[in-house]
Structure 1
Amino acid sequence: MFVKVCGLSTPESVREAVDAGADAVGFVLTASPRAVSPSQVARLLADVPERVAAVGVFRHEPVADALAIARAAGLEWIQLHGDLTPEDVTTVHDAGMKLVRAVTMAATADAFDDWGEEILLIDAAVPGSGETWDYASMVDVTELQDRKWLLAGGLNPENVASAAAAAGAWGVDVSSGVEASRGVKDLNKVRAFVKAAKG
């Protein structure tokens, strides 16, 4: 099970996620209580080994702006939320970056198609709400078969294993589900989440 821990903002939380076995760590570079600056990300990358994907997360920014900010932070992966097109995926790849394309579970059917992104992320209807949803509704989405896709939204150490199994997910993504308070990670929950997800 591929595990991404998102919304990290301190060296301690990055090290905890990495040491626990996370496959990817996410840094929010858009308006959010979890937001960090490109310079902060550049410093946090010192604690991210090459085997772990470091992802810059953006919401509704123009793709060109997101790419420029990600480059300034020293990132090779970006995660884009918002109204995207297949041409945007091409733009990301032409810039030499890898893409996590985020959609909500309520998106239109064509949003689940393979646009060539490295990973698709499927979030709750209201991303960032921390609310659970009908994860099992994804298991019959034929467009997801044999794809690398992450389940997100409302996951925590207690429900991640059952949710991922119900959805047939390739991987999982968490942020608010491992927080002590909004924007502040609980290091014990981070470790428990990764352990539960990976079994």
Structure 2
Amino acid sequence: MTDTWLIVGLGNPGTEYSNNRHNVGQMVLDELARRVGGSFKVHKARAHVLEGRLGIGGPRVVLAKPMSYMNVSGGPVSALSKFYDIDPEHVVAVHDEIDIPFNTVKLKIGGGEGGHNGLRDISKALATKDYLRVRVGVGRPPGRMDTADFVLKDFATTEKKDLPFLLDDAADAVETVVREGLAAAQQKYHTAVQ
């Protein structure tokens, strides 16, 4: 296996979804792509892919945005991990998390999917839950709003002013976990005042 990292931003394809809470993972990948330099290209694994390094001499990464809908992200993730010969321990899924307040980033490896169908499909396709997750908090739906309706809506006007900072923090968290490891990233992001 290689020392390359597969960083996957979860979301749904199409412009109608591009600013939804559910697509925050892909928004983070856009920020990482800006840092790496270059543009995404279509890969045969049904994903937009950008290969590069995180900083000069930094770790080699494959940034990927599956072209499938969120709930069937596993196929492209599995195909890319096989194509690039990347172990699940070097796969990082960046995704929306309703159980974390907006403007908060948390990290973990393995564990449950918390009802997140995209993660469930990745776990099934990789035949393990032991891959890293960068969980980007989007908050809970207000009142009795259906969770699916909430995550498929754009961020609220009040959230949009802080969204660039959240995306930057999440991209920093990805860089930290890849460069320094999960424990260092958790120490930094789980104890930070949000």
TM-score, shorter chain, exceeding 0.5? no
TM-score by length of structure 1 reads: 0.30
**TM-score, scaled relative to structure 2:** 0.31
